[in-house]
C-alpha cells in the first residue's frame, strides 16, 4: 500500500518537475552562465524535520550568492524529496544525473540513503557534497567524487561526552539506539567506544526501530539498572518520544544525545522533557564570526529557524560556489571536482572550513544543552 502510494506520488512529482524543468531550459540564458545543482533532501519520512531546515538553508544561500554577484554566473538548485529512503534516494539521484544533467549534487539527508545513492554518482562521475551524513564510514570512502561538510559522529561525540563527564561526573550509563538505521547505529558505535575510553561502564544496552512509538519497555529495563546517565542515538522524532517517555517514567537524570537531537523539532516536540539534554554539535550557534552572523541574519530575514542542519546546508552551497570560483568559473562536473580539492580555510557559519585528505570536513565542534526551551552552547 505504502509503496504504491509513494510511487504514484513520485510519479506525479516527476511529471510536475519535468514540466517545470522543460520551461526552465527553454527560458535559460546561454550555456555556461548557470550552474545547475541538485539537492536530494528528506522532505517526507522520519528525517523530514531535518530536510525542511536544510531546504531553508540552501535557498537562503542561493539567494545570497545570486544577489551578491560573487560569481560571474547564477546558481540554480533543484530540490527533490528522497523520502528518507534508499529507494527514492536512488531515483532522485538518477533523475539529477541523467535528466537534469546537474553539475553537482547536495545530499542526501540520511547516511542510510547516501550508502545506496552515492555509488551511482561515483560511477557516473558526478561530484556529491553531503551536508548532513555523519556516519564515520561508508560515505566518503565510496570514492573520490563523494565529499562532505558535516562532521562525523567520531569528530563530535568524543569531545561532547568528555565535556559532559567533566560537568556531571557520571561513571555508569544506559544506552538506547536505533538499530535499523546507518546513522543511529554508527552514532551508537562511536558512543560505545567513547564511553569505554572515558572509563564509563555501560550497564545495559537496548535497541528500537524507526517506526516504533512505544519505548516504555526499553526505558524501564535501562533505568532498572540504575545508570547515572542515559545515552540515546536516535532521529529527532524518535528522540523526542524517547525523552518524553523517559521523563514520564520518572527519570530525572541527565540525557546525552547524538547528532539526531540537533533539531529545533526535537525541543518543540519534547517540550519541557527536553530540558537539560546535552548534545554535541557541528555548529556553534553563538559564534560571533562574521560568516555566522551573516547566516543568522539571512535566515532571520527569511523567517526561518536556523539550526545545525540549515547551517551545514547553507555552507554546502557556499563551498560549491567557492569550488566553481577556484575552478576558474567553470561548471563542468570535473571542474567542480577539481575546485573542491582546492577549497581551504573558507569562512563559513561552521567556522574556518577545509576538507581533510579523505574529503571529510575539518572544523571545530561545540557542545550544547537545552536550557529554557533553547539550545545553548556549553562553554
Partner 1 sequence: MGQQALNGVFVGSIYALFAVGYTLVFGVLDILNLAHAAVFMLAAFSALALVADAHLPLWMALPLAVLAAGLIGLLLERLAFRPLRGRADSNISGLISSLAMATVFEAIALQLFGPDVSRFPLGTFPDRLIRVGTASASLLQLCIIGISVLLMALLTFLLARTRLGRRLRAVAESPRAARILGVNVDRTIAAAFFLSSALGGAAGVLFGLAFNSISPDVGRSVELKGLAVIILGGMGSIPGAVVAGFALGLIEVFTVARFGSSLRDAVSFAVLFVVLLARPRGLFGQAAVREA
The site for partner 1 (CB under 8 A) is made up of: 1-2, 4-5, 44-45, 48-49, 179, 205-208, 211-214, 216-218, 220-221, 224, 237, 241, 244, 248-250, 269, 271-272
Comparison of 11 and 216: residue with beta carbon closer to partner 1 = 216
- The DSSP element (H or E) to which 354 belongs, if any, is strand 351-355
Comparison of 239 and 324: residue with beta carbon closer to partner 1:
239
Burial class (CB in 10 A: 0-12, 13-18, 19+), 330: middle
Longest dimension (CA), the chain: 67
- Residues 276-297 as b or e (16 or more Cβ within 10 Å = b): ebbbbbbbbbebeeebbeebbe
Specify the residue, 66 or 206, whose C-beta has the smaller distance to partner 1. Answer: 206
* Beta-strand pair 366-371/278-281: antiparallel
- 72 vs 224, which CB is nearer to partner 1? 224
Nine-digit cell at 309?
A: 542542519
- Are 18 and 96 contacting, i.e. CB atoms less than 8 angstroms apart? no
Cβ burial 85-95 (10 Å sphere, 16+ → b, else e) = bbbbbbbbbeb
**Cα 163 from Cα 309, distance rounded (Å):** 22
225 phi and psi, to 5 degrees? -85, 0
Residue number with CB closer to partner 1 (154 or 247): 247
- The CB-of-217 to partner 1 minimum distance in angstroms stands at 4
Closer residue to partner 1, CB minimum distance, 42 or 140: 42
CB of 247 to partner 1, least distance (A): 9
Task: Give the nearest distance from C-beta 1 to partner 1 in angstroms.
Answer: 5
Compute the least distance from the CB of residue 4 to partner 1, in Å.
7
CB of 241 to partner 1, least distance (A): 6
- Closest approach of Cβ 48 to partner 1, in Å? 5
Amino acid at each position: 500500500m505504502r509503496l504504491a502510494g509513494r510511487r504514484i506520488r513520485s510519479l506525479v512529482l516527476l511529471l510536475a518537475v519535468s514540466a517545470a524543468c522543460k520551461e526552465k531550459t527553454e527560458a535559460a540564458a546561454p550555456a555556461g552562465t548557470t550552474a545547475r545543482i541538485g539537492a536530494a533532501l528528506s522532505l517526507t519520512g522520519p528525517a523530514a524535520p531535518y530536510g525542511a531546515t536544510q531546504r531553508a538553508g540552501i535557498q537562503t544561500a542561493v539567494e545570497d550568492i545570486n544577489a551578491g554577484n560573487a560569481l560571474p554566473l547564477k546558481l540554480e538548485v533543484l530540490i527533490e524529496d528522497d523520502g528518507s529512503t534508499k529507494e527514492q534516494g536512488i531515483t532522485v539521484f538518477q533523475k539529477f544525473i541523467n535528466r537534469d544533467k546537474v553539475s553537482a549534487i547536495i545530499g542526501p539527508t540520511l547516511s542510510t540513503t547516501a550508502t545506496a545513492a552515492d555509488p551511482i554518482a561515483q560511477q557516473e562521475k558526478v561530484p556529491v557534497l553531503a551536508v548532513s551524513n555523519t556516519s564515520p564510514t561508508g560515505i566518503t570512502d565510496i570514492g573520490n567524487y563523494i565529499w562532505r561538510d558535516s562532521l562525523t559522529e567520531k569528530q563530535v561525540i568524543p569531545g561532547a561526552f568528555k565535556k559532559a563527564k567533566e560537568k556531571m561526573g557520571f561513571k555508569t550509563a544506559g544506552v538506547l539506539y536505533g538499530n535499523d538505521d546507518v546513522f543511529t547505529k554508527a552514532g551508537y558505535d562511536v558512543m560505545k567506544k567513547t564511553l569505554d575510553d572515558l572509563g564509563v561502564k555501560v550497564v545495559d544496552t537496548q535497541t528500537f526501530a524507526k517506526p516504533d512509538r512505544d519505548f516504555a519497555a526499553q526505558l524501564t529495563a535501562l533505568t532498572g539498572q540504575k545508570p547515572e546517565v542515559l545515552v540515546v542515538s536516535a532521529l529527532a522524532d524518535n528522540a523526542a518520544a524517547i525523552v518524553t517517555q523517559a521523563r514520564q517514567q520518572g527519570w530525572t537524570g541527565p540525557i546525552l544525545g547524538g547528532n539526531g537531537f540537533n533539531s529545533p523539532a526535537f525541543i518543540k516536540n519534547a517540550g519541557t522533557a527536553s530540558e537539560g539534554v546535552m548534545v554535541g554539535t557541528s555548529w556553534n550557534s553563538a559564534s560571533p564570526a562574521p560568516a555566522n552572523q551573516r547566516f543568522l541574519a539571512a535566515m532571520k530575514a527569511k523567517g526561518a529557524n536556523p539550526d545545525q542542519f540549515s547551517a551545514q546546508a547553507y555552507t554546502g552551497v557556499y563551498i560549491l560556489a567557492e569550488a566553481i570560483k577556484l575552478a576558474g568559473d567553470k561548471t563542468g562536473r570535473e571542474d567542480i571536482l577539481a575546485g573542491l580539492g582546492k577549497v581551504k580555510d573558507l569562512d563559513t557559519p561552521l567556522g574556518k572550513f577545509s576538507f581533510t585528505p579523505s574529503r571529510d570536513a575539518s572544523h571545530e565542534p561545540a557542545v550544547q544543552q537545552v536550557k529554557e526551551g533553547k539550545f545553548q552552547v556549553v562553554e
